[in-house]
Structure 1
Amino acid sequence: MKRIAIFISCILAAGIFSCSPVRQCKAPELDLPSTIAENRADSMTIADLEWWQFYGDSTLCYIIERTLANNRDILAAAARVDRMRELYRVSKAERLPNLKANILAENETNDYYQDKAVRDPQFDLTLSIGWELDLWGNLRWAKRKGGAEYTASVEDWRAMRMELVAEVASAYFQLVALDNELSIVRRTLATRSEGVYQAKLRFEGGLTSETVYQQAQVEYASTASLIPDLERKIEIMENGIALLMGEFPDWPVLRGSMDTEATTPETLPVGLPSELLQRRPDVRASEQRLRAAMAAAGMAYADRFPRLNFTLTGGWENDRMVGFFQSPFSYVAGTVAAPIFGFGRKKAKYKAALAAYDEARLAYEQKVLEVFKEANDAVITYRNVRKTAELKANLRDASRKYVLLAHLQYRAGSINYIDVLDAQRQYFDAQIGLSNAIRDEYLAMVQLYKALGGGWQTQSEE
């Protein structure tokens, strides 16, 4: 026993004073910029708002709620969180003693050659407790790895919520824009139908040539041809939103209407670069995978050294039931399993784990770069599409006045009817252009909100 105690003490001393198993794991290199898209360093950011506060449209919020509740991808991600939680519990339980019970009843008959048959019954009831002494931190690293993988699954689930909220909001605003475009086309078609009727009357009355009448018909037919394609796009967009909501294509998608006179803020707060990494769940998930890779390297390092297990077994054993509980027994066993010569397999596994860590580290660094690019692109896009929307609104107003003046001048005989049609065409294009510009403005807001890390919150996490 004294020799065993000395041996264990030596092993413990070696474990305490050995070098860290992750000493070769290089820390990520992050040289964060001072601002996002050369904006001022805001203390606040729109990503601090929950999505039901950021999107004020009650209809859109209803669609988002149904999506987050019924979308199959988000439900699968939630199931993965449950799976990783239970696996994490397994890794934590591995550090605790293992208690087992065994009940045995057997009746062995031995009938050897030229010997009388002998019966050898046996009855056992045993309890055993086994425990591994975590000398090199193998179990501790396993627990850290399980915890990091579980946390990464939670962040992946949140990242999927963030993506779904942005995807649903983008689809909704595109659908509203298509509705508005179809409304513009139908109003224009009604106007041009009236123009065809007036041109026909003038032609039949001998006031104008047939060319004017044919020009009016061409404009009417050109406008009418736009409707089927717009209706197709609307139905496809509705089907896409229904799919996101976890419904079949015939699900009715409610929505509001586009307000072309609404204005958006000139600038939106974007926060600090360091806070961006804390808000984005996909970045946090990548960081947790890096932690899991480091823990895996620690496990591979610890696996190169001996493992010490203790087992305490006790119970009752007898060859008959009479006096069974008067036949107790117990014993203690300790085992040391040490690799002697494995042709470099365990060392190679450790090097492979270090390479996997480097892979995770570079993936994390790349993720950070991508996130800042996405945030910068979103800020620049919002800034420019807002300017475009203002210019398109001015163009729409000018085109509307141009149409009124063209009608007056045509009735006065100052210009030809082709000039009226040209003015109407420019006004129609200006309306469509403004509708698309407002759509792009809302889409830019959605992408900026997502790029800054907004949209993953749940009602319970307020």
Structure 2
Amino acid sequence: MTPRVLAHAAAASMRRARRLPLVMAIAGALLAACAPLPRAVPDNAQVQLPAQWSVPAARAADAQAGTPIAADWWTQLGDTQLDDLVAQALANNTDVLTALARVREAQASLAVTDAARGPSVNAALGAQVGRSLGPFGPSQTRSLQPGLQASWELDLWGRLSQQSQAAAARVQASDADRAAVQLSVAATTVQAYVGLRALQEQLAISQATVRSREQALQLARDQVRVGYISLLQQTQAQAEYDNVQQQVQQLQWQIDKQRATLNLLLGQAGGHENLAAPPAHRLQDLPLPAVPASLPSQLLERRPDIARAGYLLAASDHALAAQRAAFLPQVNLSASAGSLVINALHYNPLTVWSLGGSLLAPLFNSGRLEAQVDAATAQRDQAAYAYRGAVLNAFADVENALTGTARLAAQTVHATQRRDVLQQSLGYARDRYEAGYASYLEELDAQRNLYAAQLEVVRLHQAELDNRVALYKALGGGWQASAAAGQVGMH
């Protein structure tokens, strides 16, 4: 072939190379027209937020408008032992550690996804030994070919970028899930500790009642001995004494189980024997934290489970966009360079290289890409419904806690008044019995009613503390979402 012909062929190749981007752009536009259109979130997945709470926080007992929720809200109870237990639970609880591991997994997945957007370079080494028959007889060939290979997929349509953004949103969702687990563990630890202290206080009341019933039983036996009362009254006193003794055993068993529950929350098999000791102060001495006034927008910013659902919704949107981009052609660039060492060249290295590119455009795949888009759309819709459900659950939690705050406070007032009245009634019944105006049964009834009222006051105060913890948990505790979390919503 003459030099003129070679120059003409080279010029034609250059013209074809310059037309290649235009051809690829036209092909991409034609294929883009085949991609399915994006589908909107279903209308019934939209969240309709109420203008205000059914039971405004200002109407709840001891509400303080504008009261912030500190991250360590449990310290308002003023119990240093509780503070230590919550710190240990947040550090060692199995669920918390698992949530932290999930965050690390999501971060690693994001790194893998981001790496797909950049070029990859691999080292290659080939060696070959062969024996063949040539024109001059048998010959043996040895060759060694070291080199480097590089490849890079051009993200012309944003498919890889969308996948990376979806992975980043999943990292944020995993971190929000970690915050939700920590909030739940802290709240459960506080409630378990309050429950333990309530049981210990009920045990103290029961043991004091046992001592009182024991004295009454001994008095009844003495009176039977001198013929002052009948055996009926003695057996009634014996029955009341045994009943309270049974309650003592039941409470001690419940205390043992409650300590085991706390140990489980703390991530240990046993220990904290000091929890079995009587509390340094009464349960009624633990103050009720103030009721914080919160708006729906503030609730959305605080709740980690809502932030998690929002991030997962954003991730599903990016995943859907990546599936739509799969209808467009993929462009890959490749290059390799190395040396060829062969005995036929007397082991004189020969530099070899290559440059290339490929375009992969889907034409027919039996509906596989369409089905993948349908699946991604359904997953996006599931995430939208999950987000709506998280918001509705949050409002229901707050509504229930606010209602419980007012109702439990009213019950506690009446229960306390009833206990005080029954304390007076017991004194009147004892005076009437000692004066001979009434039987011992009247005093036993008064003792029984007072004992039940004392236990009920303790249980109600425990319920108030549990409900206040539930309210703080419903409002997201002290967890604060990032600025991006406040912008998460329906798309």
Normalising by structure 1, report the TM-score. Answer: 0.91
- Distance in 1, matches of 2:151 and 2:333, equals 6
* Residue aligning to 2:463: 440
Which amino acid in structure 2 is aligned with residue 373 of structure 1? A
Quick one: distance in 1 between partners of 2:94 and 2:284?
Answer: 37
1:366 maps to 389
Distance change in 2, residues 1:328/1:318 (3 Å): same
2:252 maps to: 231
* Offset at residue 178 of structure 1 (A): 0.7
Query: 3-state DSSP class of the match of 2:393?
Result: helix
Shift of 1:99: 1.9
Match of 1:75 in 2: 97
Partner of 2:83: 61
Q: Give the structure 1 partner of residue 121 of structure 2.
A: 99
Please tell me the residue identity of whatever aligns with 2:190. A
Q: Provide the residue aligned with 2:9 in structure 1.
A: none
Deviations 1:136-184 (A, max 9, x none): 2110111011101111111111111111111111111111111111111
Counterparts of 1:367 and 1:412, CA distance in 2: 65
Inter-partner Cα distance in structure 2 for 1:266 and 1:34:
26
Counterpart CA distance in 2 for 1:118 and 1:166 is 81
1:310 to 333, 336, 346: 333
Counterpart for residue 224 of structure 2: 203
One-letter amino acid matched to 2:18: K
The alignment status of 1:5 with 2:21, answered yes or no, reads yes
Q: CA deviation at 1:270?
A: 3.2
* 1:115-154 Cα deviation digits (max 9, x unpaired): 8433222222222321111122110111011101111111
Contact residue 316 and residue 376 of structure 2 kept, 8 A: yes
- The answer as to 2:149 corresponding to 1:124 is no
In structure 2, give the amino acid aligned to 1:5. P
Report the CA distance shift for 1:396/1:290 in structure 2 as closer, same or farther (over 3 A): same
Q: 1:237 to 1:321 in 2, by over 3 A?
A: farther
1:158 aligns with 2:179: yes
Question: Are residues 1:169 and 2:190 paired?
Answer: yes
Q: Distance in 2 between matches of 1:100 and 1:309?
A: 16
Pick closer, same or farther for the CA change 1:189–1:321 going to 2, 3 Å. farther
The equivalent residue for 1:353 is 376
Structure 1 residue aligned with 2:351: 328
Match of 2:164 in 1: 143
Describe the superposition over 1:330-369 as per-residue Cα deviations: whole angstroms up to 9, x where unpaired.
Answer: 2210001111211111111111111111111111111111
The total of aligned residue pairs comes to 457
The equivalent of 2:11 in structure 1 is none
Alignment match of 2:48 (pick from 2, 23, 31): 31
Q: Is the 8 A contact 2:55 2:403 kept in 1?
A: no
Q: CA deviation at 1:47?
A: 3.2
Residue pair 2:76, 2:287 contacting (<8 A) in 1 also: no
| Aligned counterpart, 2:130 | 109
SS at match of 2:275: coil
Amino acid at match of 2:336: T
State the match for 2:233 in structure 1.
212
Report the alpha carbon displacement of residue 266 of structure 1 after superposing the two structures with TM. 9.6
Q: Which moved more, 1:237-246 or 1:44-53?
A: 44-53
Name the stretch that deviates more: 268-277 or 405-414: 405-414
Q: Which amino acid aligns with 2:110?
A: Y
Task: Decide which of 406, 425, 438 is 1:415's aligned counterpart.
Answer: 438
1:442/1:362 CA distance change after superposition, 3 Å: same
Q: 1:245 aligns with which of 242, 258, 266?
A: 266
Post-superposition offset of 1:259? 2.6
TM normalised by structure 2 equals 0.86
Alpha-carbon distance in structure 1 between the residues aligned to 2:165 and 2:301: 20
Output the aligned Cα RMSD: 2.8
The amino acid of 1:272's aligned partner reads L
Instruction: Give unpaired runs (5+ residues) of structure 2.
Output: 1-16, 59-63, 481-491
Instruction: Tell me which residue corresponds to 1:460.
Output: none
1:25–1:294 CA contact under 8 A, matched in 2:
no
In 1, Cα distance between equivalents of 2:407 and 2:325:
55
Q: Secondary structure at the match of 2:438?
A: coil
2-side partners of 1:338 and 1:81: how far apart?
A: 36
State the percentage of identical aligned residues: 28
> Residues 77-112 of structure 1: CA distance to partner in whole angstroms, max 9, x if unpaired?
1111111101101111211111222233x2321335
Structure 1 residue runs of 5 or longer lacking an equivalent are 458-462
Choose 6-15 or 222-231, whichever is displaced more.
Answer: 6-15
